[in-house]
Structure 1
Amino acid sequence: MHRKPLWSLTLLAGLAAASGGAFAALNAQELEHLGKDLTPTGAEKAGNKDGAIPKWEGGLATRPAGLDATAAYADPFAADKPLFTVTAANVAQYQDKLPPGQIEMLKRMPTYKMVVYPSHRTAALPQHEYDNIKAEAAKAALAEGGNGLRNVKNSSVPFPMPKSGLEAIWNYLARYRGEGFVRYSKIFPVQTNGNFTPVSRIEYLGSAAYVKNAEPNRLFYYLRGDTAPSSQAGTALLLHETMDQVKEPRLAWTYNPGSRRVMRAPEISYDSPGPGEDGLGTADDYDGFNGAPDRFDWKLVGKKEMLIPYNNYRLVDKNVQANDVVRPGHMNQDLVRYELHRVWVVESTLKEGKRHIYGKRVFYLDEDSWQLAHVDIYDGRKELWRVREMHAMQFYDAQTIGVACGVQYDLQARRYMVSNLINASKPMKYNEKFDVAAFSTDAMRRFAN
């Protein structure tokens, strides 16, 4: 555990098992830290004591010179050499830098490893995002019970100095993902022998702050359609994610090509099975976590240094194919890059009287970007069940952190799923301009057909 800045120690000392409720907004003195000893998103600007975590110096905000112009996102750190490799043989040496899920993966799978490289703090957002964060931080608040945001219009980090677990997780839910994007990706539910049938998808996401004619109380709009395999081709999902879910719950619709009907789908939430995921994930597992947090109590555990997936440009290399990534038992760990970074640790525990197949989840959020890096998922007996990694990278042309892919391991079923792998698909298109009409049910029907 590294030293915490004074403001962090003060806040953590006053934390209860934060399940929601109002906390005082940031005062003028706290706001002065942003852009000075803290980055504009609230991370510690300084490196760590031994220099393994460098100082943040603005991140990777433009395309580096000299990179392959034919590659959508060429690796700016291709020349880096590994520092060390964590395996089952030496895991004890690094266990203070690892979450329980990684330790369990290393113990269970002889071929599983973590190749660790020099750390690069590449997270960067456009200046207008930094301006919005500082402008709204003094008034941003949680909705009743923590189930939404209030007094937030444009900020993508409403709580740069979080005082509760819910504030930290809302920083993830509200994070900047460009003004909007179009993503062509694949999902691979992998059998125990390594066989898989990929699910191909097209996704459209529009951040409500940038969607023309967006309705009130919207966080983002989302539309996706499956194009393969034939058994799923033509199915579609439409979401209008609300900012204050007390005032208005998420709106969801599905389209079934067999019936050619659009149906309201309130069940696309919480622990309903994730579409196309072969029982390996829940609806709220998607993207690491999504949707309403109201069934869980949330606790901000604190901040620590950890080895997490970071700068995973090799996974989006144009020459890397699905068979290079997907292997029996686990992903090809030779392609995965880990670095030492500081993370916020947030624990969610199922509330008494609420229903969910998960009893507890522990989230690890990169302090620079608020991108989820790792999730440990426990069943109702509080035994480790699933382990999720988010293989982050800075999309430097768009000035936003995203993922090359995610992976979720089911330790009980001994299977896993790679999600949103974009390497073998068309390049992502960031900062797409959308009108709200693009996220109507009529648009969904046309999209699916």
Structure 2
Amino acid sequence: MKNALIRTSALALSLLATGVMAAVSPQEAAQLGTTLTPLGAEKAGNADGSIPAWTGGLKPGAAPVDSNGFLGNPFKDEKPLFVITAATVEQYKAKLSAGQLAMFKRYPDTYRIPVYQSHRTAWAPQAIYDAARKSAVTTESQNGGNDLKNFDQSRVYAFPIPKNGVEVVWNHMTRYRGTNYTRNHVQVVPQVNGAFTPVEMQDNAGFPQYMPDADPQQTSNILFYYKQAVTAPSRLAGSVTLVHETVDQIKEPRMAWSYNAGQRRVRRAPQVAYDGPGTAADGMRTADNGDMYNGAPDRYEWKLIGKKEMYIPYNEYQLQSPSLKYTDIIKPGHINPDYTRYELHRVWEVEATLRPGQRHIYAKRHMYFDEDTWALMGVDHYDSRGQLWRVAEGHNYNDFEHGINTWSAMAIYDLIAGRYLAMNLVNEARHAIAYDQPLTQNDFTPAALRNAGVR
């Protein structure tokens, strides 16, 4: 017994010294698919039934799909249960973020939140559920949660039963995004009066597990490859950014390159990280504002506050509809609330505070993650004075044909400047996002950038 105690103490000291946080036990992991959904959300609804139980999600065939791959709206006949306005916001503030409340004050005459019946539509393929369950018992975080150990090659849902704030963040960053895909979308930064010039982009994303030519040694620390080319307007067309997103960004930082069409040169792009400027964003977003949040978590302390019920953008099928034009959506101050949909859902609440000695234009981020999908749905960004500066909202929908949670739009509102950025708009694209693309590792080399940027 004495020797066993010595060995146990030695192991505990070793874990503390290396900063390793252990995976959950098999007994805890057994909750996945029983009391918890296969991805770690509570299966049960809430006490009054306003949040229903999860019963498997919305499956293929839930609504028509047009010839260009755009999904129909399974809830097109539903009407809002109620609409929150500046006049009524006080009675709902317990289920709203500080950022949402600030938007009502900034735009009292036009900002509103239409609240619909809640639907828990999320689902994923069985292989993803199996991978998440394996991650639960094998993945460990180390170096203060800044990198992962024993993360399965499936590369999804590192911590479906999280124990702290940074593990919740990792679930967002490792959530299932589908197979290799190509997407055409638009980013806009309207003037105060609502006038805008759309910036058209084409994204290609590749995942080593879906690449037949992927070299296991070269890709062992790769989460995904990402290439983004600007295709319009003409003054920006031909610029391309390439990212190799690593899992352990302490050991091997994100690798990024850019191709400038005017110079016809490929350069390393270390600015594509943290608070480096976002592509063609007119200073309205940082590199790590993409996907609501991305990249190495090492500059922040992550505090898990807990779970709460909140009105968040959800099932935004109308907002991605090809029946809408960008001029229908983009209005002065904020996107048009006539086409948004909010529902009551449980979220994980995490507060990120800049570590002493670290630099970032956002000193604090207050973040809300959907429990069913782990997608980051809302972020309140604070400056170094502690003032609420920017409010981000992720308008998501669940692709019922593929079992993927994705974006209709993401918006970042600057409360001080009175301007905003909206990205990932697809309404006027020729085709919806296309999965199962035959992308290879060679498509994501620096040498391939020049060909992607030819105009």
Shorter chain as denominator, the TM-score bin is over 0.9
Distance 2:422 2:202 in 1: 16
Gaps of 5+ in 1: 1-19
Quote the Cα distance in structure 2 between the aligned partners of 1:267 and 1:108.
Answer: 32
Amino acid in the other structure paired with 2:102: E
- Classify 1:71/1:235 alpha carbon distance in 2 versus 1 (closer, same or farther; 3 Å): closer
Q: Spell out, residue by residue over 1:119-177, the C-alpha distance to the aligned partner (whole angstroms, 9 max, x if none).
A: 01011110000011112211101132322222112141110111111100000011110
With over 3 angstroms needed to count, the CA separation of the structure-2 counterparts of 1:238 and 1:194, relative to structure 1, is: same
CA contact (8 A) 2:63 2:74 kept: no
**Counterpart position of 1:411:** 415
**Quick one: distance in 2 between partners of 1:137 and 1:356?**
31
What is the CA–CA distance in structure 1 between the aligned matches of 2:44 and 2:297, rounded to whole Å? 32
Residue among 286, 300, 303 paired with 1:299 = 303
How does 1:155-304 map onto structure 2 within 5 Å? 155-212=155-212, 213-214=214-215, 215-304=219-308
Contact in 2 for aligned 1:177/1:207 (Cα 8 Å): no
Give deviations 1:179-219, integer Å, cap 9, x for gaps: 12111000000111111111000000112322331522000
Aligned to 2:121: 122
Partner residue, 2:453: 448
**1:11-410 to 2 correspondences below 5 Å:** 21-64=19-62, 72-109=70-107, 110-152=109-151, 153-212=153-212, 213-214=214-215, 215-410=219-414
What root-mean-square deviation, in Å, do the aligned CA atoms of Structure 1 and Structure 2 show? 1.4
> Which digits, 9 at most, give the CA deviation of each residue in 1:323-346, with x for residues without a partner?
000001111001000000000011
- Does the 8 Å contact 1:373/1:390 carry over to 2? yes
Q: 1:65 to 1:378 in 2, by over 3 A?
A: closer
Query: Any idea what the Cα deviations from partners look like across 1:1-43, whole Å, max 9, x if unmatched?
Result: xxxxxxxxxxxxxxxxxxx943221101101100000000000
SS in 2 for 1:276: coil
Answering whether residue 430 of structure 2 is matched by residue 432 of structure 1, we say no
- Structure 2 spans left out of the alignment, 5+ residues: 1-17
Does the Cα contact within 8 Å between 1:316 and 1:423 map onto a contact in 2?
yes
Paired residues of 2:46 and 2:52 also in contact (CA < 8 A): yes
Where 1:146 maps in the other structure, the secondary structure is: coil
Of stretches 222-231 and 145-154 in structure 1, the one that deviates more from structure 2 is 145-154
Count of residue pairs brought into register by the alignment = 430
Q: Distance in 2 between matches of 1:173 and 1:342?
A: 19
Identity of aligned residues (%): 47
Q: Secondary structure at the match of 1:29?
A: helix
Contact conserved, 2:83 with 2:114, CA < 8 A, in 1? Answer: yes
Distance of 2:249 and 2:262 partners within structure 1? 32
**Whole-Å Cα distance in 2 between the matches of residues 401 and 115 of structure 1?**
21
Whether the 8 Å CA contact 1:393–1:402 is kept in 2: the answer is: yes
Report SS of the residue matched to 2:137.
Answer: coil
Q: Contact 2:250/2:296 (CA < 8 Å) preserved in 1?
A: no
Structure 1's 66 and 175: CA in aligned 2 closer, same or farther, altered over 3 A? Answer: closer
Distance 1:122 1:430 in 2: 20
- Counterpart CA distance in 2 for 1:327 and 1:65 is 29
The whole-number CA distance in structure 1 between the counterparts of 2:76 and 2:63 is 13
Q: Which letter does structure 2 place at the counterpart of 1:170?
A: W
Of stretches 436-445 and 413-422 in structure 1, the one that deviates more from structure 2 is 436-445
Bigger shift: 144-153 or 253-262?
A: 144-153
Q: What one-letter code is carried by the residue in structure 2 that aligns with 1:120?
A: H
Is the 8 Å Cα contact of residues 83 and 118 (structure 1) preserved in structure 2?
yes
Q: Take 1:346 and 1:353, find their aligned partners in 2: how far apart are those partners? A: 21
Question: What is the CA-CA distance between 1:71 and the residue it aligns to?
Answer: 6.0
Counterpart Cα distance in 1 of 2:239 and 2:147: 29
Distance 1:164 1:324 in 2: 41
Q: Which amino acid aligns with 2:113?
A: M
Please give the alpha-carbon distance, in whole angstroms, between the structure 2 residues aligned to 1:262 and 1:130: 40
| TM-score, normalised with respect to structure 2 | 0.92
Moved over 4 A (4+): 65-71
1:69–1:52 Cα change, 3 Å: farther
Q: 1:65 to 1:320 in 2, by over 3 A?
A: closer
Larger radius of gyration: 2
Q: What code does the residue aligned with 2:438 have?
A: K
Structure 2: distance between partners of 1:186 and 1:143: 38
3-state SS, counterpart of residue 144 of structure 2 = helix
Compute the displacement of 1:66 (Å).
5.5
Displacement of 1:354 after TM fit? Answer: 0.7
2:106 and 2:271 map into 1 onto residues whose CA distance is 35
AA at the equivalent of 1:58: G
* Alpha-carbon distance, 1:69 to partner: 6.2
Report if the CA contact (8 A) 1:129-1:155 is conserved: no
Is contact 2:246–2:252 with CA below 8 Å preserved after alignment? yes
- Which stretch shows the higher mean deviation, 136-145 or 261-270? 136-145
Distance between the aligned counterparts of 2:245 and 2:54, measured in 1?
Answer: 32
Give, in whole Å, the separation in 2 of the partners of 1:181 and 1:315. 21
1:428 partner SS: coil
Query: 1:382, 1:345 → 2: CA distance?
Result: 19
Note the C-alpha offset of 1:433: 3.3
Give 1:6's aligned residue.
none
CA distance in 2, matches of 1:328, 1:203: 27
What is the deviation of 1:273?
Answer: 1.2
- Letter in structure 2 aligned against 1:442: A
- Displacement after TM superposition at 1:355 (Å): 0.7
- Does the CA-based 8 Å contact 2:203-2:227 persist in structure 1? yes
Task: Report Cα offsets for 1:20-75 as digits up to 9, x if no partner.
Answer: 94322110110110000000000000011111111101111313155666661110
Larger displacement relative to structure 2 (133-142 or 112-121)? 133-142
Range moving further from structure 2, 376-385 or 428-437: 428-437
